Amino acid sequence: MMKLPALASALLLLSPAIAAQDVVAERTAQSGLPLDPVRASMEVPRLALGFTVDPASRSLAGTADYTVTVDTPQDRLAFDLDPRFAISGISVDGQALAPAAWSNPAGLLTITLPRALAAGSRAQIRIAWHGAPHVAKRAPWDGGFTWARTPDGQPWVASAIQGEGCDMFWPCLDHPTKRIGLLDLSVTVPDGLVAAGNGVLIGEDHAGGWATWHWRARQPNNYGVTLQIGPYRLAEAQYRSAYGNTIPVQYWHLPGDRPEDVQYLLAGMQDYLAFFEDVVGPYPWGDEKVGLAETPHLGMEHQTINAYGNGYKRAPEGYDWLAQHEFGHEWFANQMTNATEGEMWLHEGLDTYMQPLYLLWKNGRMAYDVALWDHRKRVLSRVPLAAGDPAATGDYLDAESGWGNDIYYKGSWVTHTLRLLIGDTAFRESLRRLVYGRPDPAPGNFAPVRRTTADFATIVSEVTGRPMDWFFDAYVRQAALPRLLEERQGSRLRLRWETASALPFTMPVEVQVGDRVLVAPMADGTGMLDLGSADARHVIDPEAKILRDDPAITAWQAQERAAEAHAKD
């Protein structure tokens, strides 16, 4: 997802500290809560998911035909589902269950099985439900449905549920560790509307004033499953990949859009594709498509059908920042998925860094530096990027903690510092191993992976041949940024790193003296340099390679907060 604008930082959802009476809101408003033993045992090799969406009543009816396997014996199954929906019926292996066999009082739909499942066995579960989904107050940051109208008055519908999860409109396993092996998605809408979906379009049927659009997708990320509906027109191109395959690039847009805008966006998508394939590796869904659908909200990284609502705004750097950012999530969210919600910096931080890196690739060093400096001014570092507890989740919209801010901008700067520390060759290999699970990805030889910060640290250590725990502990597990303390005695400059980590912070430091650049290795977190003379002027880290505490930025941020508060009075 894109970062929320600064003015939206005092927002909308609930904190993790939620009163008992709000347990329903907690379950449906926060994705990735710890799994109970029943859901932890379940896997979904296949799902046929069908929706009938009625814009007139702002409601939907759905059926989910699940193939479920369990790895431990179970006499119950469970799914997450917003309890605002009514259950029409449930069957197990074709046997209809009595209503007493299921309950969904707090958003955890629990089904008592007619016979227990042995470990390693499977069952066919059919769930039918209907109702009016939660309406997003400010999509995509407050998740739910957007029921809008196109400029000429036609229905325009979009779902966006990253933080809240798939249970906002269908029964699912709402956790990043649970993916569907193969999804068959059918969406029925009033005739004249198009339902743009995940994966490959299998076909469409029209009868009785309704149209059904059939899609098939492999291994979708749960929050990436989406409904995007409108009177769309399709624009497309074919991209010839450096990996030898040809990838469809498809964009479902409103009929009144200017053709030159549509073509500009299509051309940009192909340029972004060339960048990501060059720097990271092959597009993960090349056997399906690169897809976008125009939406009434700003955007979201739905797998192979990214939501786009930036209105074709062109940045002075000559690209569409929103389209580039959301597309990057095909690698950093949909192919490589964080193992817990608390590790979301692996999605957002790595992907946010791909913006300045793309500008370096496209426009050169100045564009990179300008974009990165903008990111640096937004780093808050009030809480860790990722907590030590692997089950912990962050509060994305808590303005005081700033976690939902730092996963983007601090994550970007951590990645910048890492790249310049280990070099481009090691950085690119580390990214490939992180994203694909192997150093030699090619179309067809990899599958989606789940990752943690510890995985990333291990990969970088293996690639570089040196321990990297000190780096990730100081930058990701601790809240405060490393501080570099200086002491000048004549021509001698003593340096010492100070961090909250128990591990020595061994980040080497460059110091410019005239036209010379000296390097303090900082092997134990301290270093000393002879600058040549007592009056020599020096500049620490002249190329701004290192993310570190900067009192000037801290003072500026306080000044900006005070000015904003004064303006509100």
Helix (H, G, I), strand (E, B) or coil at 259: helix
Collect all residues with Cβ–Cβ distance below 8 Å to 444 and sequence separation of at least 6: 287
Alpha-carbon Rg for the chain in angstroms = 25
Torsion of CA 546, 551, 553, 554, to 10 degrees: 120
* 498 appears as a binding residue in the annotation: no
Peptide bond into 105 cis (omega under 30): no
Helix (H, G, I), strand (E, B) or coil at 267: helix
**Tokens coding 120:** 């390693």
Three-class SS of 41-77: HEEEEEEEEEEEEECCCCEEEEEEEEEEEECCCEEEE
Helix (H, G, I), strand (E, B) or coil at 565: helix
**Where does residue 286 fall: left (phi above 0), alpha (psi -120 to 50 degrees), or beta otherwise?**
alpha
* 329 appears as a binding residue in the annotation: yes
**Tokens coding 436:** 């694909």
Residue of 187, 183, 194, 249 whose CA lies nearest to 216: 183
User: Crossing angle of helices 403-422/424-436, nearest 10°?
Assistant: 130
Phi, psi of 208 (to 5 degrees): 60, 30
* 341 appears as a binding residue in the annotation: no
DSSP track, 478-523:
-SSPPEEEEEEETTEEEEEEE-SSSS-----EEEEETTEEEEE--T
**Tokens coding 447:** 């599958």
Residue 256 CB neighbour total at 10 angstroms: 10
Strands 306-308 and 290-294: parallel
Residue of 309, 339, 242 whose CA lies nearest to 281: 242
CB 250 within 8 A of CB 291: yes
CB 205 within 8 A of CB 211: yes
Distance CA(569)–CA(567), nearest Å, equals 6
Locate the DSSP E strands across 241-339. Answer: 246-253, 290-294, 299-300, 306-308, 336-338
Residue 94 CB neighbour total at 10 angstroms: 7
Query: What is the separation of C-alpha 13 from the centre of its chain, rounded to a whole number of angstroms?
Result: 18
Phi, psi of 304 (to 5 degrees): 65, 5
- Taken in order 420, 422, 423, 428, the sign of the CA dihedral is negative
Q: Residues at the annotated binding site?
A: 325, 329, 348
Q: Residues at the annotated binding site for Zn(2+)?
A: 325, 329, 348
